[in-house]
A = this chain, B = another copy of it.
Amino acid sequence: MGEAAEEFGGVTPDAARRLLLGAVEAFAERGFHATTTRDIAGRAGMSPAALYIHYRTKEELLYQISRVGHERAVRILSAAAEGGGSAAERLSTAVRAFVRWHAEHHTTARVVQYELTALGTEHYAEIVGMRRRTEEILRGVLADGVADGEFTVEDLRGTALAVLSLCVDVARWFRTGGPRTPEEIGTLYAGLALRMVGAGPTRSSG
């Protein structure tokens, strides 16, 4: 199927997982509102009615995708950001891992990052809370680097947001089979992020 299988491997029963994977693909291709429950059920090899045995509404499918995806994204970012090493090393590792996830799991990531607004009010609020945590984690690394004198950043909040923008947007344009591997993009972006905070390798000025 797709690279989304890895994210939702723990979902049971089997039919519920197949429906979730079908929904990820469909939402990523067409968007939540343009996707029909018939389409989702069809991708899972089931009748339209079968969807409602495992999920109460179409929105609940989006919520589960969004929740599990955000949990994974936060975990990946925090594992790198709160690991060992200098602020520069942690920033580099965090951006590389975060970007790599957005490229490798671009189908899931696209839904996670760009279909938020289709969530119901309460689900939306919950997800927004997780996204705030994401910003805080990255801002913490930048603050550490500034305190250490490793980074030169005037607008901490704005720069952290910019680095996140860079990472997240990978999900929008990445296509499997393109000229760069997820690993290569991760390495490129880690270098760009270091430069953005004033810690990157610069030219030998001329």
Contacts and interface: CB of A to CB of B under 8 A. Distances in A.
Interface of A: 30-31, 33-34, 114, 117-118, 149, 151-152, 154-155, 157-159, 161-162, 165-166, 168-170, 172-173, 179-180, 185, 188-189, 192, 195-196, 198-203, 206
Copies in the complex: 2
B203 A198 contact: yes
Given A161-B173, A165-B165, A192-B159, A30 B203 contact: no
Given A165-B169, A198-B200, A198-B202, 4 more contacts: A31-B33, A151-B203, A169-B169, A192-B196
Decide if the interface of chain A is mainly helix, strand, loop or mixed.
helix
A202 B165 contact: no
5 contacts: A152-B201, A158-B185, A162-B166, A162-B189, A198-B203
Contacts of A185: 158
A118 B31 contact: yes
Nearest to A149: B206
A66 to B, nearest CB: 15
A135 to B, nearest CB: 10
A118 B34 CA distance: 9
A201 to B, nearest CB: 8
Contacts of A34: 33, 118
